[in-house]
Chains A and B, each alone.
Chain A
Amino acid sequence: MPEDSPLWEVFVRPRRGLAHSHVGSLHAPDAAMALRNARDLYTRRQEGVSIWVVPAAQITASSPDEKDAFFDPAADKVYRHPTFYDVPEGAPHL
């Protein structure tokens, strides 16, 4: 059985001023073809002004199973949010 060509993750920037966001993935033998295929697959209706393709194998992801422990340090630091603080009445622009 022939092997699949590498998997690429596709990120599209919808408009200037917005960040690229993940739209899906595709198989292609190299980056140039991945980019062209991404254009045909994900921007047939002017969905973007810029595309990134990234080899899926190059992405390091946090483990969904360890989600709770991994993000735990942020859980008890409510003082990082402005809403934690009482603003005295009458203090402007705070």
Chain B
Amino acid sequence: MAQHAHSEIIGMQPEANWITRAPTLKRKAILLAKVQDEAGHGLYLYAAAETLGVTRQTLYELLLAGKQKYSSIFNYPTLSWADIGAIGWLVDGAAIVNQVPLCRCSYGPYARAMIRICKEESFHQRQGYEILYTLSHGTPAQKAMAQDAVDRWWYPSLAMFGPPDTESTHSERSMAWKIKRFGNDELRQRFVDMCVPQAAVLDLTIPDPALRWNADRGGYDFTPPDYAELMAVVRGNGPCNRQRMAHRRQAYEDGAWVREAAAAYAAKRREPVHA
């Protein structure tokens, strides 16, 4: 839960990177709303984690000290506006596939937070899909930009489902406790099967020459993501790990005076008034 909360908070960074450069005022308002939602998701999840007895402050410190992780996907850079589309479609899309089963997980506070989150995520995915659709039906340069973004985000999105079930360290326990209800590979397959027809409507290509329908299995065969790369990013060697953490630490320190001022004001108002 803590890792999930941290992911929502760190996940604001790659997208916030494009808020000031959104192509229109409408897109800017939408992106602001989405990033604000992600902050909200983080807060719902921190609150859920706190019901187990840990303090918010402890959770922050564990993140800032690098002792708790966040989803590796957010360690990739957002190089073009089309990346905002690809993140909405693929990253939020993968998150939805991962998260929908969590709405019925065995821990009530987590499940309730997930229900709120899932309701909000479908807007995220659709706005991303719309960005890509607009680009892929625009000029050839815009279409190329959209394709480039999909090429870069496809495999990292597949990696969001985690290592294969045979190698996943936590899966077995999470399944036994009914926190996770489906295996990593099953969810990954579900995601691929959803994306293929969506990519066709976008008129964009999924960057996998091995992708083809397997009638026997009733699903698409596909090339798995590079799990060695996933593990390297998890260990801290992704393109943006250091930048993301530095930014988070900076934001935390820059906000300290606000927290102190608000606490001081609250304390002052609690003092008895002397006539």
Contact = CB atoms under 8 A, between A and B. Distances in A.
Interface in B36-52: 36-37, 40, 43-44, 47, 50
Contact of B58 (A1, A27, A28): A1
B165 interface: no
Interface string A1-31: 1111101000000000000000011111110
B266 to A, nearest CB: 4
B47 A2 contact: no
Contacts of A44: 33, 36-37, 40
Interface residues of B, number: 23
Contacts of B259: 2, 5, 29
Contacts of A49: none
A4 B112 CA distance: 23
Contacts, number: 46
Nearest to A7: B50
Contact of A26 (B47, B58, B269): B47
A34 to B, nearest CB: 10
The B interface, classified by DSSP as helix, strand, loop or mixed, is helix
Contacts of A2: 57, 259
Q: Please classify how large the interface on chain A is, using the bins under 10, 10 to 19, 20 to 34, 35 or more.
A: 10 to 19
A94 B253 CA distance: 68
A85 to B, nearest CB: 37
A30 B47 contact: no
Contacts of A45: 120
A40 B36 CA distance: 9
Contacts of B112: 24
B175 to A, nearest CB: 25
A24 B57 contact: no
Given A2-B259, A5-B259, A24 B113 contact: yes
Contacts of B47: 24-26
A5 B262 contact: yes
A40 B112 CA distance: 18
Given A24-B44, A41-B43, A5 B263 contact: yes
A27 B56 contact: yes
Given A24-B44, A25-B50, A30-B266, 4 more contacts: A2-B57, A4-B56, A24-B47, A25-B47
Interface of B: 33, 36-37, 40, 43-44, 47, 50, 55-58, 61, 112-113, 116, 120, 259, 262-263, 265-266, 269
The 10 closest A-B pairs by CB, nearest first: A29-B266, A30-B266, A29-B262, A29-B263, A4-B56, A25-B47, A4-B55, A4-B57, A41-B40, A1-B57
